[in-house]
Amino acid sequence: MKKNYFYLNRIHRPEDIKNLDSKETAALAAEIRDFLVEKVGLCGGHLASNLGVVELSIALHKVFDTPRDRIIWDVGHQAYVHKILTGRKDAFDTLRTPGGLSGFTKRFESEYDPYGAGHSSTSISAALGFAQADALLGRDNYTVAVLGDGAFTGGLVHEALNNIRKNLHLIIVLNENEMSISKNIGVFSRHIAKIRATRGYLKTKTFTRTAITRIPLVGKPLFRAVRKTKKSIKNALYGSNYFEDLGLYYLGPADGNNAEVVETLLREAAASKQSVLIHLKTTKGKGYRPAEENPNLYHAVPPRGEAKSSPNFSQALGKELIRLAEKDRRIVAITAAMADGCGLTPFAKRFPSRFFDVGIAEEHALIFAAGLAAGGMKPVVPIYSSFLQRGYDSILHDIALQNLPVVVPIDRAALAWRDGATHHGIFDVSFLSGIPGVTLYAPATFASLKTFLNDGLKGGAPTFIRYPNSGELLKSSDFPIRQRFALSTFSQNSEGLALDGIVMTYGGILREAMTARAYLAQKGFACGIIVLEKLLPLEIDAILSLLPDAPVPIVFLEEGIRSGGVGVNFYDAARNREKMKNRPYRVLAINALTDGRKGETLTETCGIAANDVVNAFLNNALLN
């Protein structure tokens, strides 16, 4: 810790900030911003969004009695300040490292994190569950959900809003920091909103409500009539809004970077004893000029000194998609708010009328693509592996059952080294393997990616192409023998000796296999590698033709969940074939969700590292 963090060094729990005055709060906020720039710049993580919620985070912990009162952060990437204020600032040097401080909220990390998250738009549903449980059990604590305006592009938010009962101790904080949700209702409405965010207005309103409701017999009906009349007049002058129409008590919009205003609105919301939505407008990157001027560049920053792989599979996909779209006007691209990450930004600029960003709505993206395909178009829908999970029913019901030619590139198909379990791309192979009629590829080179994309656009059936967030996995010189969708150097090693064992694998984990082969060679153990590039349906005969007749052992190395994975599926289909009889075979795959352990890589924690391969061969750890 820096010695000049005068206030921050004295904050160890939320109680330590409750008596700060406005000047002290402002000084603390400035120190927190300096701390975030320092620590996130070192370790990487979400910077701009956290800089924007400093005053809000402080106000939440000043007003509410956490952890008894609960704060649920949507996604969790805006929760860094919350973590700082709840006793975790000394762990920020370990942010987003295996066994270190998570980049998201985690129930197992702190009692101040009542609900874990990593995917968007879940906070209101979860908060509603907590608030309803409190009502049923007679508890009087509060639940606060904090979510950005981007989350409102996900349909789940609106499903939850539609289900809220009025008289719950539920407070929703809408942090609008990028796109405008509220209607432009002119100078009068802005003036009214400003008045409604003042202490004087709220104090008068509270006094009036109390005075009227205490009138014997007619008090409560009279108050309801007054409130209804007031709302009718307001609606006639400048209209109602979406949230009030749903029955929520609406406060705002207000300046979310004004600590006094935010605290005032939170206290009013708590005093109202009903379901409330507070609408705040904050500045992404607040207090750090580079992030204020370019918030998208500072949304997620890499660790200091980390070089990005360039070009990567995402960029290669985007480039090839443009080339193909130049020749075929039926090709369209769809993203669920991930144009940059999936390499589609250049496509969007080149073909704006054929590019669709549907927001954080993977289910809609896939069904929309199915409709486009049924209408004669050729949709390509790149989605991160961990987010594709949200569209499983859309894949099964809308694409596969109708055999529609939708191409789905699966980005970030690997362990998420920085973001942890919520972002691990390790389930796509398993859940797709249970759907008949789909084709799944795992290109090891950009050339293979181009081939598979072309085949998918011509094939007339559902096609999935999975790849990690990296550059090419191998060079053609590494694997001189090539057969359809399978690459190999298993026949002989550099010394010309017969093989002692074979590793079968696919995807980014190939690097661990190659490391293991080099180490085994030093031990006099000749290890070949077979790289699969077509995973569904498996080309069993083609793969078996690559195996030597001698029953040397096989280790199937897989950076994916074991159940339903390729290693299990291959053995199930091939175990009774002649070449597999009496051949030792073991699957090294992932059996549990994990964020990793301190001092280990994620592959080591999952038991799929190079050392695990070596031990399987040298320590006779192979089992059928």
User: Residues 137-149, buried b or exposed e (16+ Cβ, 10 A)?
Assistant: eeeeebbbbbbbb
DSSP output for 230-271: HHHHHHHHH---HHHHTT-EEEEEEETT-HHHHHHHHHHHHH
Query: Rounded to an integer, what distance in angstroms lies between the CA atom of residue 332 and that of residue 351?
Result: 9
Query: Rounded to an integer, what distance in angstroms lies between the CA atom of residue 86 and that of residue 80?
Result: 10
How many residues are listed for the chain in this entry? Answer: 624
DSSP state letter for 597:
-
362 is catalytic: yes
466 is catalytic: no
Q: How many Å is the maximal CA-CA distance in the chain?
A: 100
User: Residues 174-192, buried b or exposed e (16+ Cβ, 10 A)?
Assistant: bbbbbeebbeeeeeebeee
Query: Rounded to an integer, what distance in angstroms lies between the CA atom of residue 562 and that of residue 564?
Result: 6
Neighbours of 315 (CB within 10 A): 17
Query: Rounded to an integer, what distance in angstroms lies between the CA atom of residue 263 and that of residue 470?
Result: 44
Say if CB 85 and CB 11 are below 8 A apart: yes
Residue of 33, 83, 284, 517 marked active site: 284
Query: Rounded to an integer, what distance in angstroms lies between the CA atom of residue 481 and that of residue 475?
Result: 12
User: Residues 394-417, buried b or exposed e (16+ Cβ, 10 A)?
Assistant: bbeebbbeeebbbbbbbbbbbbbb
Say if CB 146 and CB 56 are below 8 A apart: yes
Residue identified by tokens 């059952």 is: 401
Name the phi and psi angles at 496, rounded to 5.
80, 20
Residue of 286, 390, 418, 586 marked active site: 390
Residue of 31, 176, 263, 362 marked active site: 362
Say if CB 606 and CB 594 are below 8 A apart: yes
Q: Report CA 419 to chain centroid distance, whole Å.
A: 8
304 is catalytic: no
Q: HEC string of 166-189?
A: CCCCEEEEEEECCCCCCCCCHHHH
Q: Annotated active-site positions, please?
A: 284, 362, 390
